[in-house]
Amino acid sequence: MRALVVVDVPRDWPLAIPHVAVVAARAYLTDPAYGSEPALRVYNLCKSYRYQSFGYYVSLLAEARGHKPLPLVGAIEDLQSQNLVRLLTSSLDELVAKSLAPIKSDEFTLSIYFGRNIAARYDALSRQIFDLFQAPLLRALFARKTGAWHVDRVETITASDIPTEHQDFVVEAARRYFSGLRPRPRRQRPPRFDLAILHDPDQAHPPSNEAALAKFARAAHALDIQTEVIGRADMGRLRYFDGLFIRDTTFINHYTYRFSRRAAAEGLAVIDDPDSILRCNNKVYLAELLPRHGIPVPKTLLVHRDNLQQIIPVLGLPCVLKQPDSSFSLGVVKAESEAELSALVSRLLEKSVLIVAQEYLPTEFDWRVGILDGRPLFVCQYYMAPGHWQIIRHASARTAYEEGPTLALPVDEAPPQLIRLALQAAKLIGEGFYGVDLKQKGKGSCVVEINDNPNVDAGNEDGVLKDALYRQVMAVFASRMAARGRHQP
């Protein structure tokens, strides 16, 4: 995809960026050649983005033409309200405090060139602000009040605002930015869609192993979808994709959730969508939701400091205690005695005003029904780790763990009522990709929890469908990306 820098007057543009064409805003807006070119990344560096100015219309028409403008009109509008700017940047307070701690004065100005600052120590802060507002050249002004640093305002700047001694750095920052966004060498025919796969190779418990990621990529290629694995530093690139597939363990106060929200706001097909992450990531929410809709669950009590005495009468011992945002069996503990119960509850309530307590239902294995787009995709039996009451035994939160075996079964060989129950539960969350965990005692079943971002590991969940599992997931992405009408030339 060709990159184009659009400015008011090209002869006044002081930066020579290799391999990037510079055109006048008037030409971009009026020359039919630009309007008919289907694949352009437009870097709008006009002097003003005010309403109905040249700069405003460059971004507006670029969006209408299916080009990829930076900044978007939405970002331009965001920057017009400094109240909104302060609201959007409030999540950066901790990073701001850390980055500006050495500053002695009570004011500080940060110049941000394509997400970078000339001082490397401010790169992390620069990147976060750039990701929020997505304008090539920005200036952030900070003020320290009552001992704490805050963003006072963020504004766009023009090339003429760049000090002469910074210009070489800006050229290099722009060159690197453009190079990073440059597509892979073209095939004879470009793919229909581009899909970003968010994955952290250093994550201790990823939802998909490397072999599974490779199978997803091959399945996508067969459907004319080009995939690219991205990381936590790539949020600013989301607009250049048609879909986002999150293969990192999701949390609310976490970059995975921020990626999901940004991708959804950009109109991408997203799995997991932000609403699913919000709903599945909190077991308090699920404990309230499922019984309200008649979904059978283990006997459950929402615990707070004023009802501790109810746990044993309601649930008995042993019982299971769950941190609301626990995952991968971390934050889920079993209390065997009254003394142990008291100690564990006290520890968990230090982190959350509510926790979940459930009756202990010992079984040889847990069922998981993988549901995608409202249909069952796979069924597995997850057996308990040897000598343990959970499917995973953790040596500690950060060290080695041991898993029980996984047995995949054909969907039509699982108990029909179990599949129906899983579908009913998943429908309460949405139409995403869910792993519904259930326990079966005799002829009855109950839902333990609903997970967004379910595991798909080569050799486990794909034990029945094999490569067809990956093709089905990619087919859903292809359908959703097509429905959104976002064609990536």
Q: Say if CB 221 and CB 195 are below 8 A apart.
A: no
Q: What is this structure's pTM?
A: 0.64
Q: Say if CB 408 and CB 455 are below 8 A apart.
A: no
Query: Which pLDDT score, from 0 to 100, does residue 188 have?
Result: 46
* Residue 250: exposure state from Cβ atoms within 10 A (0-12, 13-18, ≥19): buried
Residue 96 structure tokens? 């701001």
Query: Which pLDDT score, from 0 to 100, does residue 331 have?
Result: 76
Residue 434: count of CB within 10 angstroms of its CB: 30
Gap between the Cα atoms of 130 and 117, Å rounded: 11
Query: Which pLDDT score, from 0 to 100, does residue 396 have?
Result: 47
Q: What SS3 state is found at 87? A: helix
Task: Tell me 186's DSSP state.
Answer: P
DSSP 247-288: -S---SSSHHHHHHHHHHHTT-EEES-HHHHHHHT-HHHHHH
Residuewise pLDDT in 10s, the chain (489 residues) = 678 889 888 887 777 777 778 899 888 888 888 878 877 888 888 888 876 788 888 888 887 787 888 888 777 877 877 777 876 787 788 899 999 999 999 999 999 999 999 999 998 999 989 988 888 899 999 999 988 999 999 998 888 888 989 988 988 888 888 776 433 434 445 678 999 999 998 887 889 999 999 999 999 988 889 999 999 888 888 988 999 999 999 988 789 999 999 999 889 999 999 999 988 988 888 988 999 899 999 999 999 988 999 999 999 999 999 888 766 556 789 999 999 999 999 999 988 888 899 999 999 999 999 999 999 999 999 999 888 888 877 664 444 678 899 999 999 999 999 999 999 999 999 999 999 999 998 778 999 999 999 999 999 999 999 999 999 999 999 999 988 865 444
How, if at all, do strands 148-156 and 137-145 pair?
antiparallel
Query: Which pLDDT score, from 0 to 100, does residue 327 have?
Result: 62
- List the Cα angle 414/416/420 in 5-degree steps: 115
* Domains of the chain as residue ranges with CATH: 193-272+476-483 (3.40.50.20), 299-359 (3.30.1490.20), 365-465 (3.30.470.20)
How many angstroms separate the Cα of 205 from the Cα of each of 30, 210, 324, 449, 472? 53, 12, 19, 19, 24
Question: At CB < 8 A and 24+ separation, what contacts does 334-339 make?
Answer: 334/360, 334/389, 338/312
